[in-house]
């Protein structure tokens, strides 16, 4: 009997309560995967003609994926609000405004890869609301550190569609099986290799990096001899780092003084996955990603995510 997403209900302290939400992510993933594969025939590639809160051109598929994800979170009946990269404000699900859970999401990460048929992904995390259930959910419900995360993970839309997630009891990878129309466990108990792998960074920015990150990276290259791989979609670069080892980094630079990646729906979920898989998730000033107290829904942070040896070598941690 193939082990499917319902197995999550037996994992750790939060598996049972998180399973319906992760199953909702799985349903959204199947719909988004199908949308991506037929987008070119439906005129759904290209820009939507609008910008998101980040001032970035929204792709049509960003908007469509956001709508699909919100609809599936609503259909769980357990989610009161969603904080999305594609929405400036917190999206309250009015029909379930008294529910317990708040979901943070980047519905289609790496969408600049879409017009070159590159891999893209969905990144999510789940926290328990801080407001009382009889109050209206508020953006303050999202401003919780990674230590409060109950579930997190990502979907990778590649040659296969994979859902990699954790409820705090290790990391497990599920691959969508079209024959059975379900996600089936394909990568149980994923652990980051302690050595080897690649460094993964957009080196075109190296001359703008802050905090001596250029010399830090040269030192990492000298000390480890790691090769380099960079897809330009965080989900794909993190997934490879999880499987092969090494480090993914997006440092602060003179253009993005707080880095480019968003704390709540990119750095924290990926940092949670990395730590659950035996890796390390750091930001600047010696801060662990999961210890950062968020101040805003779309806050950005520098990230250094990977094996302990690679992250420590890069950051000069003895």
Which residues are near ligand P6P by CB under 6 A? 109-110, 112, 202, 232-234, 237, 260
For the bound state, the minimum distance from the C-beta of residue 317 to ligand P6P, rounded and expressed in Å, comes to: 23
Residue with tokens 């001359």: 207
Strands (E), the chain: 47-51, 57-59, 79-84, 91-92, 101-109, 120-128, 151-157, 161-166, 172-177, 182-187, 198-200, 227-228, 246-250, 280-282, 303-306
Residue with tokens 């107290």: 293
Q: Is the dihedral of CA 199, 168, 157, 87 positive or negative?
A: negative
Q: For ligand P6P, which is the closer residue by CB, 79 or 289?
A: 289
Q: For ligand P6P, which is the closer residue by CB, 110 or 245?
A: 110
For the bound state, the minimum distance from the C-beta of residue 256 to ligand P6P, rounded and expressed in Å, comes to: 8
| Strand pairing category for 227-228 and 198-200 | parallel
Q: For ligand P6P, which is the closer residue by CB, 14 or 260?
A: 260
Tell me how far apart the alpha carbons of residues 117 and 23 are, in angstroms, rounded to a whole number: 26
Q: For ligand P6P, which is the closer residue by CB, 141 or 237?
A: 237
For the bound state, the minimum distance from the C-beta of residue 58 to ligand P6P, rounded and expressed in Å, comes to: 12
Q: For ligand P6P, which is the closer residue by CB, 150 or 292?
A: 292
Cβ 231 vs Cβ 237: under 8 Å: yes
CA distances from 196 to 126, 128, 202, 221 (A): 31, 37, 19, 12
For the bound state, the minimum distance from the C-beta of residue 157 to ligand P6P, rounded and expressed in Å, comes to: 12
Cβ 81 vs Cβ 90: under 8 Å: yes
For the bound state, the minimum distance from the C-beta of residue 142 to ligand P6P, rounded and expressed in Å, comes to: 18
For the bound state, the minimum distance from the C-beta of residue 56 to ligand P6P, rounded and expressed in Å, comes to: 7
Residue with tokens 């420590």: 312
For the bound state, the minimum distance from the C-beta of residue 201 to ligand P6P, rounded and expressed in Å, comes to: 8
Residue with tokens 């990926």: 270
Q: For ligand P6P, which is the closer residue by CB, 18 or 264?
A: 264
DSSP 288: B
Q: For ligand P6P, which is the closer residue by CB, 46 or 232?
A: 232
Q: Could you tell me the two tokens for 158?
A: 């590649």
């Amino acid at each position: 009997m193939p082990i499917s997403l319902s197995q999550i209900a037996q994992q750790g302290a939060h598996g049972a309560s998180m399973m319906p939400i992760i199953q909702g992510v799985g349903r959204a993933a199947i719909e988004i995967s199908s949308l991506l594969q037929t987008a070119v025939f439906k005129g759904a590639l290209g820009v939507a003609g609008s910008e998101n809160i980040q001032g970035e051109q929204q792709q049509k598929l960003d908007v469509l994926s956001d709508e699909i994800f919100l609809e599936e979170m609503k259909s769980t009946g357990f989610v009161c609000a969603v904080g999305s990269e594609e929405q400036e404000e917190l999206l309250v699900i009015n029909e379930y405004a008294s529910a317990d859970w708040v979901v943070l999401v980047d519905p289609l990460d790496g969408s600049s890869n879409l017009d070159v048929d590159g891999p893209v992904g969905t990144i999510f995390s789940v926290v328990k609301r801080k407001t009382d259930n009889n109050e209206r959910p508020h953006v303050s419900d999202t401003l919780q550190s990674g230590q409060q995360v109950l579930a997190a993970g990502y979907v990778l839309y590649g040659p296969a569609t994979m859902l990699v997630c954790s409820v705090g009891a290790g990391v497990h990878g599920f691959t969508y099986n079209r024959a059975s129309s379900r996600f089936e466990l394909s990568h149980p108990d994923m652990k980051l290799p302690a050595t080897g792998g690649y460094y993964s960074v957009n080196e075109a920015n190296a001359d703008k990096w802050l905090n001596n990150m250029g010399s830090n990276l040269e030192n990492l290259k000298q000390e480890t001899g790691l090769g380099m791989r960079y897809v330009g979609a965080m989900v794909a670069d993190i997934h490879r780092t999880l499987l092969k080892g090494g480090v993914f980094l997006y440092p602060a630079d003179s253009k993005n003084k707080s880095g480019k990646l968003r704390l709540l729906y990119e750095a924290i979920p990926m940092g949670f996955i990395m730590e659950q898989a035996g890796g390390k998730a750091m930001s600047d000033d010696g801060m662990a990603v999961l210890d950062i107290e968020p101040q805003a829904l779309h806050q950005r942070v520098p990230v250094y995510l990977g094996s302990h040896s690679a992250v420590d070598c890069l950051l000069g941690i003895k």
